[in-house]
């Protein structure tokens, strides 16, 4: 308890590029997660919509997804280091590649779950592809999409901790590894608790966002 008080008494101190308080390390990790996760959402959700909507895209992409999805996210880290020549973008790349699969798969599954009667009515009414997307697909797909987002953010937070242990720099993963090198077990335990708490907070934020969107969708439909 005394060690925790000591750590959090000044969480934003800076004694150099690699000696910073736990607050800065958490912030650095969250920033990487936000960038990688955001890029994955921008690409993965539209891809999932298209893969679920068009059969030929599904037939073309499913074998590739099945091949790449089981690959450990950390196995992609050396590719990122090779391409970007720096640890920071390589870590973002690892988060991106591990976050994109749940979004694609769950969004595509949501599109496929749309009742066929809805699509038949859309054809009879001669609705444009944009109206089909906004009036039929998105309201039906939203729960699946949000499930994919929740899975992705949890995976992203797990990956960044491991990636930072390998790449170094500033981040909660590097902080854990640095404390291990100093044989400071108390700080490692504190970091484990902090990592768990941040993960819970991220999930609760997404749950709250999902509820808000669901209520908004219900109100719009009524």
Q: What does the pLDDT read at residue 161?
A: 86
Kindly report whether the global pTM for this prediction surpasses the value 0.85.
Answer: no
What are the pLDDT digits (tens) for 146-181?
A: 889 988 998 898 888 888 888 877 888 888 888 888
Q: What does the pLDDT read at residue 220?
A: 53
Q: What does the pLDDT read at residue 134?
A: 79
Q: What does the pLDDT read at residue 60?
A: 92
Domain extents in the chain: 28-169+197-221
Q: Yes or no: say if 102 and 151 are a contact pair by the CB < 8 Å rule.
A: yes
Mean pLDDT of the chain: 85
How many whole angstroms separate alpha carbon 205 and alpha carbon 43? 21
Opening angle at CA 14, ends 8 and 19, nearest 5: 90
% the chain with pLDDT above 90: 26
% the chain with pLDDT above 70: 93
**pLDDT of 87 above 90:** no
CATH entry 1.10.3720.10 includes domain 28-169+197-221:
yes
Q: How many other C-beta atoms can be found within 10 angstroms of the C-beta atom of residue 3?
A: 13
User: What's the whole-number mean pLDDT along residues 70-81?
Assistant: 88
How many whole angstroms separate alpha carbon 195 and alpha carbon 125? 51
Q: How many other C-beta atoms can be found within 10 angstroms of the C-beta atom of residue 45?
A: 19
Q: What does the pLDDT read at residue 96?
A: 94
User: pLDDT band at 218, cuts 50/70/90?
Assistant: low
């Amino acid at each position: 308890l005394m060690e925790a008080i000591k750590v959090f008494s000044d969480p934003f101190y800076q004694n150099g590029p690699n000696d910073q308080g736990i607050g800065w390390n958490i912030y650095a990790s969250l920033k990487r997660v936000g960038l990688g996760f955001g890029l994955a959402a921008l690409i993965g959700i539209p891809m999932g919509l298209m893969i679920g909507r068009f059969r030929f895209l599904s037939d073309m992409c499913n074998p590739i997804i099945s091949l790449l999805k089981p690959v450990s996210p950390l196995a992609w880290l050396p590719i990122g280091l090779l391409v970007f020549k720096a640890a920071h973008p390589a870590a973002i790349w690892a988060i991106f590649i591990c976050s994109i699969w749940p979004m694609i798969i769950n969004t595509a599954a949501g599109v496929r779950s749309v009742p066929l009667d809805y699509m038949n009515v859309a054809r009879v009414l001669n609705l444009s592809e944009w109206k089909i997307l906004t009036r039929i697909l998105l309201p039906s797909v939203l729960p699946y999409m949000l499930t994919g987002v929740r899975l992705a953010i949890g995976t992203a937070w797990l990956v960044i901790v491991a990636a930072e242990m390998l790449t170094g720099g500033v981040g909660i993963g590097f902080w854990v590894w640095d404390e291990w090198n100093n044989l400071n077990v108390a700080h490692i335990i504190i970091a484990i608790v902090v990592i768990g708490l941040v993960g819970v907070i991220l999930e609760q934020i997404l749950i709250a966002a999902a509820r808000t969107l669901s209520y908004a969708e219900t109100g719009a439909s009524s």
